[in-house]
Amino acid sequence: MTDPGLPDMLASLDTAYGQLTAVVSDLSEADLMRRSRCAGWAVADVLYHQLLDARRALRAFATPADRPPDRDYISYWREYAPDGGVPPGGDDAAAHARFVRIVSSAYSPGSLAWEWTETAAAACLAGRACPHEAVATQGFSLSVAGFTATLVVEAAVHYLDLMLELPGAPEPAAGPLRLVREVLEGLAGTPLPPGWDDVTCALKATGREPLTEQERDQLGPLEERFPLFG
């Protein structure tokens, strides 16, 4: 299994988490209630879901794996493809969506952004201080670089989700989006259409934007495997 270099991934995590922090820190309560690209979720719901990932990062960086890595930064996502172990539209996904909506609505204005900011910063520090060669998370073993890369991909995609009705949000950082494309093309086993920029690639290949008939024809048999992960 081949993973990207750890220094690059830690820098990308700083970028991805830092961009999310910069955007959500100034959001009003009304902004947090705006629609996101995640069906049925407002901005606050996506932010809480992302907070759960940063909490998981803290646990994982402190949990050495008891075996060599059995997933890399690409194969990890196969569990979250439609034909993988966690179907995006299955019962587990629906239960998680309901849980996130309930809990995010309980936060007072500003407190959710504050907790995200503190937890995200702590996760980045924990990644730099992690002494392990591999860490355990969600039943898998990943190298520290591979695990960090999965955090970057998650944050980059959810940044796109948050941007839907936040016109003042800066354009997504280029580095994390390049990694998203690399993962998606690794899952596909082939380059995605060269006419797609990295944002389009992320939105189309994760099912966040529908494919046009022309795009379906362009993808050929690969179209049947979309979304490549949810």
Instruction: Give the structural domain span for 157.
Output: 6-175
Residue 91 lies in a domain: yes
Q: Is residue 187 part of a domain?
A: no
- pLDDT tens digits for 168-187? 899 999 999 999 999 999 99
Q: Which amino acid is at 187?
A: L
pLDDT band at 1 (very low <50, low <70, confident <90, very high): low
Mean pLDDT, to the nearest integer, of 107-128? 96
Asked if residue 140 is part of any domain, the answer here is: yes
Give the chain's domain count.
1
Q: Which has the minimum average pLDDT: 82-91, 100-109, 110-119, 170-179?
A: 82-91
When mean pLDDT is compared across 84-88, 172-176, 189-193, 207-211, the lowest value belongs to 84-88
pLDDT at res. 51: 98
Residue 198 lies in a domain: no
Q: Quote the tokens at residue 224.
A: 């049947």
204 domain-assigned: no
Q: What is the pLDDT of residue 90?
A: 55
pLDDT number for residue 85: 43
The answer to the question of residue 22 being in a domain is: yes
Q: Is 97 left (phi over 0), alpha (psi -120 to 50) or beta?
A: alpha
Q: Which of 3-7, 141-145, 155-159 has the weakest average pLDDT?
A: 3-7
pLDDT at 116 over 90: yes
Measured between alpha carbons, how far is 15 from 18 in angstroms, rounded to an integer? 5
Tens of pLDDT along 189-204? Answer: 999 999 999 999 999 9
Give me the DSSP letters along 69-128: -S--TTGGGGGGSTTSSS-TTSHHHHHHHHHHHHHHHTSPTTHHHHHHHHHHHHHHHHHH
Q: Tell me what the pLDDT averaged over the chain comes to.
A: 93
Q: Determine, yes or no, domain membership for 112.
A: yes
Inside any domain, residue 21: yes
What CATH number is attached to the domain comprising 170?
1.20.120.450
Among left, alpha and beta (phi > 0; psi -120 to 50; other), residue 5 is beta
Taking residues 24-33, what's their average pLDDT? 93
Task: Annotate 214-229 with DSSP letters as a single string.
Answer: HHHHHHGGGGGG-SS-
Residues 13-35 have a mean pLDDT of 96
State the pLDDT at residue 96. Answer: 87
